[in-house]
Structure 1
Amino acid sequence: MHDISFGHGFRYADIKRAGVMKHTLTLTRWHKVAERINAALKEREARVVAAFTAATISPWNKEGVEQKAAGIAARAKVDLALVEQGSAAVAAIRSALARKNAELGIAARLAEVEALNRRIALYRAVLDKQSVDMVQPEHVRHVPALAVTEGEPSWGRREAPRVTLQVADAALLAQLASKLAREQARSHALLDEIADLNREKLELDIAPEVHEIAGLAA
């Protein structure tokens, strides 16, 4: 079980006295909980700013202004407290997930997948952009100049005819295709492993004030 340490003025002991509840969820679910809390906090943040900076009244309707302002301030303070607790909860969840990810090797696998996907994108770009219009260097001398299409006009001038060279020979293209298939297979295997590992359970303590926006059962 991982204890959450809330920052920004929230001490774990204080939250515990307030009655935190333990929740055991998969890593995947905890990621979703953090996303859900963040989404809810954005709305509360906007309400806090609006309440404290953009509250307006009609100059012809001054009755009960103090009470209205007090009500607006009270609601905004509730939202403010929720943002403080919620943001601390998200930080704690992410910290616990980071530790668990490192422990299970998820972080290392994700780093490898990122590297694989970068190479995959490069191999695919080179392979996909090969064209039948390309000419191998040794055959350029046999291409009549009149057979080459002129480029599009640019600033009133026509571009000189250009021949697109097929710089990558057949052996290199075959090698890239082989690497692409191998790297894709490895990436898919790692992603499957990560999905399996993300089914591991993690127990965390969450303050009851955050349960509703987190979508957690009381």
Structure 2
Amino acid sequence: MDYPVALKEMGYYKEDYADKEINMRNAVLRFQSEHNLMVDGKFGEISYRALEKRLQDADYQYADVITSPPTEQEWIAINKTKRILTFYKGTQVIKKYPIAQGKDPSYTPEGKYTIVNRIKNPRWGGAGIAAPVAGGSPKNPLGYRWMGLSLKGGGSYGIHGNNQPKSIGTDASMGCVRMINSDVEELFELVKLNTPVWIGTHEKLKEWGVHNKSYLN
């Protein structure tokens, strides 16, 4: 099976960058996140199994089981174990996205938060380790969108873009949740202020009533 061809035909491949290798890696990341697989950008045996099953499954639905949503409106859950951000409306999945998290996963705080600010072309202050970078610059580590979490006032932890596309699907950040730039721009248009955001490991989310069940189960 030629998985690059299949992923393109299924709509996972986008012309995000001039580098086709990065674009195909992004397609793999998106496929993995949509099927609740471990998001790592490597199309190995498990991804092949999922693709084979998916190609035969015309009635595919997201496998999530949600028993205790925080609202019947829109909300977000971030699965640190699988590196998946899911945007829900009540118990229904609207969209799934691959992410990067803290270089030590503990850097990305677990808990129940809300979105307290939304910023286009955010300025990066340097985090005490580098010179600040202007908003809108391709060198900005925050990319072109920022959605701040209520933890520490919305300026310390957030969901944002990136200037290191190969970091998505890894443990790489100082604690924030990174996304593919085109993905976070799409999500940014959907997310409102005060949207609930739950962040936890796979097991913690299950305790809270959010089961990102694998498509292969």
Could you say which TM-score interval applies, normalised by the shorter chain? under 0.3
Of Structure 1 and Structure 2, which has the larger fraction of its residues in helix? 1
Of Structure 1 and Structure 2, which has the larger fraction of its residues in strand? 2
Which gives a bigger RCO, structure 1 or 2 (Cα 8 Å, sep 6+)?
1
TM-score in terms of structure 1 length: 0.19
